[in-house]
Amino acid sequence: MKEITLGQYYQTDSVLHRLDPRVKLIGTFCYIISLFIVNSWPGYVAAGIFLAVMILLSHVPFSYIVRGMKAIAFILTVTVLFNLFMTPGEPLVSFWKLTVTREGLSFAVKMAVRLVFLIIGSSLMTLTTTPTQLTNAMEDLMKPLKKLHVPVHEIAMMMSIALRFIPILMEETDKIQKAQMARGADFESKSIIQRVKSMVPILVPLFISAFRRANDLAMAMEARCYHGGEGRTRMKPLIYQRRDRIAYGVLAAFFCLCLSLRLLKF
Amino acid sequence: MIEVKDVCYTYEAGTAMAVNAIDHITTTIPDGQFIGLIGHTGSGKSTFVQMLNGLIKCSSGQILYNGEDINAENYNRRQLRSHVGLVFQYPEHQLFETDILTDVMFGPKNLGLSEEECRSRAEQALYAVGFKERHFTQSPFDLSGGQKRRAAIAGVLAMKPEVLILDEPTAGLDPMGRDSILDLVSELNRTRNITIVLVSHSMEDVARYVDRIMVMNDGHFILDGPPTDIFVQVDKLEEVGLSAPEITYVLRKLKARGLDIDTNALTYEEAAEEILRHRSQLEALRTRE
């Protein structure tokens, strides 16, 4: 369980860490869109350079980011293989019933690059932003929806609680798993049915503990007079600084570059 | 017998958050001993006991159980866990079956024993921790806190361990629940000759039961010996945020006042006896003041 580092906040001090979370949220959104706008190699190179600069700025060790990628290696491989073999076109190599086409190869590689950039890009946001900051930013950006009677604050609060509980429940799972292993439970068995069955001694205690924690939390919040978003103020209100405006400028420039690469058909 | 040879363990190795939880520990746990493992929160005691039954693999060093390296490639660690039973903190959180008996049978079943053998072991274990037959079909979630914990301990006992490790078995229990658990453990040690390692941060808990106290701080043992030797070094205990039992302080204060008293008493009864034995001196002291 401990190996899942994909997008877990990495504590250090960098420009990216200090940036306003709203900028990072919008920035990541823009980056993802631009990844789907570009469809040529110069575009991918531009996206790659942009990402590399961001990683350098973030002070997060590259090895730490790559380690997180292991979790999605399987999905990535499957996607690449499907694209490689299922795309019709000019055959390049063929063996048994499978044929690799020129189009398939180019498509598969592009898809892989796109996916890797997408995942690193979005995990870079969560690596440099605490979940609290992130939900604060969301609440702020969704504020206009309040006019439509969308419970923005409540949604943000639920999100931050959900995010907060992920590491707690992971730790709990780890603890319960160890406790059952101490009672001789076997989680390394080969057969799938056995593996599914062996999950019961973990899931039942986990659910019970999740409900217990939720109850405790609700009680603790009520004890401190929590009553929703009405009239609630922030300890650290989000205010744009000079660096945030500069970041918006850089983002806009990158987005325009991607757009023009697409429109000029480079 | 468990031999621990120059063992280290590092959490989050290779990152900025690396912590040396266990720092070059060497010790031996002989058969039949009742050991109290004391240390402040975060001193590494939980990590240490999880290494003893192979749930955590040490970063370096060796752990031998009856002479065999438990981290060796082909060592049967599942078998080991039935010999070295570990009861986690708040063990009641691991209960999951619909009734107590089935839950306790989980351990023996994992050992691949027959249904009847599992049942008889579970029943024995439940009787040993003080349950009656009418409880067996109850849901573990309907029990009181202390009962749940005893049911969870039975779950490990049913595997018939030779070494039983309990991680803070009394945390969050009322005094009565605490005493009943400690009495139970002590009885297991005396009648069945099970080696016990009792992890705690409270000296009061362990003082009157154990043969040997190991004091842990920052990932290594700073004191190791019979209780009377440990409590003499009150200063060293206080340095690491622990304390000697209350009675030790009382006796030491009396001694400081000029009473020729033995400060090694471990239980309230012994202390009371010791004080009563010096009654005449005490009277003299009072009249002088």
Report percent pLDDT > 70 for chain B. 98
Indicate if B167 and B237 belong to the same structural domain. Answer: yes
Indicate if A62 and A125 belong to the same structural domain. Answer: yes
Per-residue confidence (pLDDT) for residue A4, from 0 to 100: 53
pLDDT tens digits for chain A (266 residues)?
445 555 678 888 888 888 899 999 999 999 999 998 888 888 889 899 999 999 998 888 888 888 778 778 888 888 888 888 877 777 777 777 777 788 888 888 888 898 899 988 988 888 898 888 888 898 889 888 888 888 888 888 888 888 788 888 888 998 999 999 898 888 776 678 888 888 889 999 999 999 999 999 999 999 998 887 777 888 888 888 888 999 999 999 999 998 888 888 76
Return the H-helix or E-strand segment holding A243.
helix A242-263
Question: Token pair for residue A254?
Answer: 């990158």
- Nearest CA of chain B to the CA of A194: how many Å? 12
Per-residue confidence (pLDDT) for residue A1, from 0 to 100: 43
Per-residue confidence (pLDDT) for residue B126, from 0 to 100: 93
Q: Is B111 on the interface with A (CB under 8 A)?
A: yes
- Rounded Cα distance between A52 and A221, Å, is 42
Indicate if A23 and A70 belong to the same structural domain. Answer: yes
Q: In this structure, is residue B255 part of a structural domain?
A: yes
Give the long-range contacts of residues B14-22, CB within 8 A, separation 24 or more. Answer: B15/A64, B16/A11, B16/A12, B20/B219, B21/B47, B21/B219, B22/B47, B22/B48, B22/B51, B22/B58, B22/B219, B22/B220
Q: In this structure, is residue B126 part of a structural domain?
A: yes
**From the list A175, A184, A208, which residue is nearest B88 (CB)?**
A175
Q: In this structure, is residue B135 part of a structural domain?
A: yes
Indicate if B205 and B153 belong to the same structural domain. Answer: yes
B87: left (phi over 0), alpha (psi -120 to 50) or beta: beta
Indicate if A93 and A213 belong to the same structural domain. Answer: no
Report percent pLDDT > 90 for chain B. 41
Q: Do A64 and B78 touch (CB under 8 A)?
A: no
Indicate if B146 and B101 belong to the same structural domain. Answer: yes
Q: In this structure, is residue A26 part of a structural domain?
A: yes
Determine which of A38-47, B10-19, B179-188 has the lowest per-residue pLDDT on average: B10-19
Indicate if B251 and B232 belong to the same structural domain. Answer: no
Indicate if B264 and B124 belong to the same structural domain. Answer: no
Q: In this structure, is residue B139 part of a structural domain?
A: yes
Q: In this structure, is residue A44 part of a structural domain?
A: yes
What is the interface pTM, i.e. ipTM, of the complex? Answer: 0.83
Per-residue confidence (pLDDT) for residue B117, from 0 to 100: 94
- B213-236 pLDDT per residue, tens: 999 998 889 999 998 888 888 888
CATH label of the domain that carries residue B122? 3.40.50.300
- Nearest CA of chain B to the CA of A121: how many Å? 21
Q: Do A201 and B15 touch (CB under 8 A)?
A: no
Per-residue confidence (pLDDT) for residue B161, from 0 to 100: 93
- Nearest CA of chain B to the CA of A140: how many Å? 32
pTM: 0.73
Which residues on B lie below 8 Å from A209 (Cβ)? 93
User: Mutation test of the interface with chain A: which of B55, B94, B142, choosing the one with the most A Cβ atoms within 10 A?
Assistant: B94
Query: Least CA distance to B15: which residue of chain A?
Result: A64
* Sign of torsion over alpha carbons B6, B12, B16, B21: negative
- Rounded Cα distance between B186 and B288, Å, is 44
Per-residue confidence (pLDDT) for residue A266, from 0 to 100: 60
Arithmetic mean of pLDDT over chain B: 88
Indicate if B231 and B250 belong to the same structural domain. Answer: no
Indicate if B91 and B224 belong to the same structural domain. Answer: yes
Which residues on A lie below 8 Å from B88 (Cβ)? 175, 178-179, 182
User: Mutation test of the interface with chain A: which of B55, B96, B118, B164, choosing the one with the most A Cβ atoms within 10 A?
Assistant: B96
Q: In this structure, is residue A256 part of a structural domain?
A: yes
Which residues lie below 8 Å from residue A95, measured CB to CB, with a gap of 6+? none
| Interface subset of A 157-216, CB within 8 angstroms of B | 175-176, 178-186, 200-201, 204-205, 208-209
Indicate if A19 and A94 belong to the same structural domain. Answer: yes
Spatial CA neighbour of B213 closest among B199, B227, B229 = B227
Which is more confidently placed, B266 or B91?
Answer: B91
Q: In this structure, is residue B154 part of a structural domain?
A: yes
| Interface subset of B 137-156, CB within 8 angstroms of A | 141, 155-156
- Rounded Cα distance between A79 and A86, Å, is 10
- Nearest CA of chain A to the CA of B78: how many Å? 6
Query: Are A244 and A23 contacting, i.e. CB atoms less than 8 angstroms apart?
Result: yes
How far does Cα A38 stand from its chain's mean position? Answer: 21
Q: Helix A131-141 to helix A102-128 angle, to the nearest 10 degrees?
A: 100
Indicate if A94 and A195 belong to the same structural domain. Answer: no
Query: Are B29 and B1 contacting, i.e. CB atoms less than 8 angstroms apart?
Result: yes
Q: In this structure, is residue B146 part of a structural domain?
A: yes
Indicate if A243 and A207 belong to the same structural domain. Answer: no
- Nearest CA of chain B to the CA of A25: how many Å? 26
Indicate if A171 and A253 belong to the same structural domain. Answer: no
Q: In this structure, is residue A135 part of a structural domain?
A: no
Indicate if B185 and B261 belong to the same structural domain. Answer: no
Indicate if B263 and B204 belong to the same structural domain. Answer: no
Number of domains in chain A: 2
- Nearest CA of chain B to the CA of A134: how many Å? 23
**From the list B91, B111, B141, which residue is nearest A179 (CB)?**
B91
Indicate if A19 and A123 belong to the same structural domain. Answer: yes
Indicate if A110 and A177 belong to the same structural domain. Answer: no
- B36-57 pLDDT per residue, tens: 999 888 888 989 999 998 888 8
* Structural domain containing residue B179: 32-42+77-241
Indicate if A114 and A62 belong to the same structural domain. Answer: yes
* Structural domain containing residue A157: 152-223
Indicate if B98 and B234 belong to the same structural domain. Answer: yes
Indicate if A74 and A198 belong to the same structural domain. Answer: no
Q: In this structure, is residue B132 part of a structural domain?
A: yes
Q: Is A66 on the interface with B (CB under 8 A)?
A: no
Indicate if B86 and B150 belong to the same structural domain. Answer: yes
Indicate if B147 and B275 belong to the same structural domain. Answer: no
Number of domains in chain B: 2
Q: In this structure, is residue A58 part of a structural domain?
A: yes
- Rounded Cα distance between A45 and A113, Å, is 10
Per-residue confidence (pLDDT) for residue B17, from 0 to 100: 65
Strand partners of residue A174: none
Neighbouring CB atoms inside 10 A of B90's CB total: 19
Boundary residue ending a domain (B241, B258, B278): B241
- B130-183 pLDDT per residue, tens: 899 999 999 998 888 888 999 999 999 999 999 999 999 988 888 888 888 899
